[in-house]
């Protein structure tokens, strides 16, 4: 019997670096939005041999316990006291090192899949286990819009329904390490944000107001990425000229997302981007 689960991606509509800690991590405040597209698919088979075997559809992606999803399975086996005899397969659609949280999402999907099956851990214990694997992993257990603080591991969920605007994600098909992006923030960007943007962003999501969302996007990591990779500025300008209300980089990049006024305008933009830029992937949400 094989079990299978979708492993969704995310974008950050807002990302503020508040403080650089002595251990070089940054305290941040960020608004995560889960996306249905792209999503990976994780399948798990119960096998006779003890241990965890993990493979993926993407050549070069770490396998077995070097993969965050494999480590999640091992951590679940340890904490739940269940001997592992699992074969796990990842069908990869989320670009890697793209600011879309692929590895964290895969880890959370494995935890969810195993706990749905064995039911050994409470939601609280599962979240505590998730955070040991990575700051973003607990977000993917919940898969709903969330504001994260701390190093991104403390979550709060704004009240009411938050309605995502039509979004186009564009991945330029080269990787950027999160470490590079965080090491290259201009120091003057780091600090509290008194602009009220984050509150306005949440209000706009509650009010199903794409224009309000577009006006309040922010990412402190973006400036260094635009400077280092001119293609990202070209993509952003192109999207603004072809119907996007606004566009920004997600997380540590290099993927960009555009906020569009309507689903139709998003689809036209997707075609325009795919026609004008050969080496990018586009994802409509
Ligand atoms: P974030 O937005 O959380 O910073 P990201 O999208 O930039 O994440 P990932 O795609 O999660 O980055 O991958 C970062 C690194 O983790 C890659 O170098 C990759 O080799 C490694 N990795 C380990 N396991 C996985 C996995 N299951 N999926 C993707 N990457 C993985």
The pLDDT of residue 25 is above 90: no
CB 79 within 8 A of CB 118: no
Question: Considering the chain, what is the average pLDDT of its residues?
Answer: 96
Q: Catalytic residue, from 124, 136, 220, 237: name it.
A: 136
**How many Å apart are CA 118 and CA 262, to the nearest integer?**
42
> In what side-by-side order are the strands of the sheet with 256-259?
246-249, 256-259, 167-171, 281-284
Mean pLDDT, range 222-242, rounded to an integer: 97
User: Phi-psi region for residue 185, left (φ > 0), alpha (ψ -120 to 50) or beta?
Assistant: beta
Looking at residue 164, what is its pLDDT?
97
Mean pLDDT, range 169-178, rounded to an integer: 96
CB 151 within 8 A of CB 104: no
Burial 17-47, CB ≥16 within 10 A → b, else e:
beeeeeeeebbbbbbbbbbeebbbbbebeee
**How many Å apart are CA 221 and CA 144, to the nearest integer?**
23
Mean pLDDT, range 95-100, rounded to an integer: 97
88, 103, 256, best to mutate for ligand 1 pocket (most atoms within 8 Å of CB): 103
Looking at residue 96, what is its pLDDT?
97
> Where do we find the tokens 């780091």?
190
CB 153 within 8 A of CB 138: yes
CB 205 within 8 A of CB 32: no
The pLDDT of residue 1 is above 80: no
pTM of the entire predicted model: 0.96
* 94's tokens: 């989320």
User: What is the position in ligand 1's atom list of the atom closest to the CA of 12?
Assistant: 2
The pLDDT of residue 47 is above 80: yes
Q: Is 30 in the pocket of ligand 1 (CB under 6 A)?
A: no
Q: Is 12 in the pocket of ligand 1 (CB under 6 A)?
A: no
Looking at residue 148, what is its pLDDT?
97
Count of Cβ atoms closer than 10 Å to residue 49 Cβ:
8
The pLDDT of residue 265 is above 70: yes
DSSP H or E run through 90: strand 85-91
Residue 275 a catalytic site member: no
Q: What percent of the chain has pLDDT over 70?
A: 100
Looking at residue 24, what is its pLDDT?
80
102, 134, 174, 250, best to mutate for ligand 1 pocket (most atoms within 8 Å of CB): 102
Q: Is 136 in the pocket of ligand 1 (CB under 6 A)?
A: yes
Q: What pLDDT, in 10s, does the model give residues 101-143? A: 999 999 999 999 999 999 999 999 999 999 999 999 999 999 8
Mean pLDDT, range 151-175, rounded to an integer: 95
**How many Å apart are CA 100 and CA 10, to the nearest integer?**
5
Beta-carbon-side half-sphere exposure of residue 154 (alpha carbons within 13 Å): 6
Beta-carbon-side half-sphere exposure of residue 274 (alpha carbons within 13 Å): 12
């Amino acid at each position: 019997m094989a079990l299978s689960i979708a492993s969704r991606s995310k974008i950050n509509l807002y990302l503020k670096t508040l403080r650089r800690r002595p251990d070089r991590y940054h305290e941040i405040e960020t608004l995560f939005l889960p996306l249905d597209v792209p999503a990976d698919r994780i399948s798990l088979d119960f096998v006779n041999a003890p241990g965890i075997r993990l493979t993926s559809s993407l050549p070069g992606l770490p396998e077995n316990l070097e993969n965050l999803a494999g480590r999640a399975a091992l951590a679940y086996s340890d904490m739940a006291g269940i001997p592992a005899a699992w074969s796990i397969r990842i069908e990869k659609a989320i670009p890697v090192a793209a600011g879309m949280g692929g590895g964290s999402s895969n880890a959370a999907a494995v935890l969810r899949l195993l706990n749905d099956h064995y039911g050994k851990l409470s939601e609280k214990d599962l979240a505590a286990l998730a955070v040991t694997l990575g700051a973003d992993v607990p977000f993917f257990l919940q898969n709903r819009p969330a504001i994260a603080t701390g190093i991104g591991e403390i979550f709060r969920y704004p009240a009411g329904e938050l309605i995502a605007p039509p979004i186009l994600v564009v991945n330029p098909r080269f990787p950027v390490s999160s470490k590079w992006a965080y090491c290259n923030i201009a120091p003057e960007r780091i600090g509290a944000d008194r602009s009220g943007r984050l509150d306005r962003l949440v209000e706009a999501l509650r009010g199903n107001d794409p224009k309000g969302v577009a006006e309040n996007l922010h990412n402190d990591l973006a400036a260094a990425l635009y400077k280092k990779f001119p293609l990202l500025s070209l993509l952003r300008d192109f999207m603004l000229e072809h119907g996007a209300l606004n566009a920004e980089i997600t997380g540590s990049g290099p993927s960009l997302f555009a906020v569009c006024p309507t689903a139709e305008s998003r689809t036209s933009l997707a075609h325009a981007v795919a026609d004008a830029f050969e080496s990018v992937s586009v994802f409509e949400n």
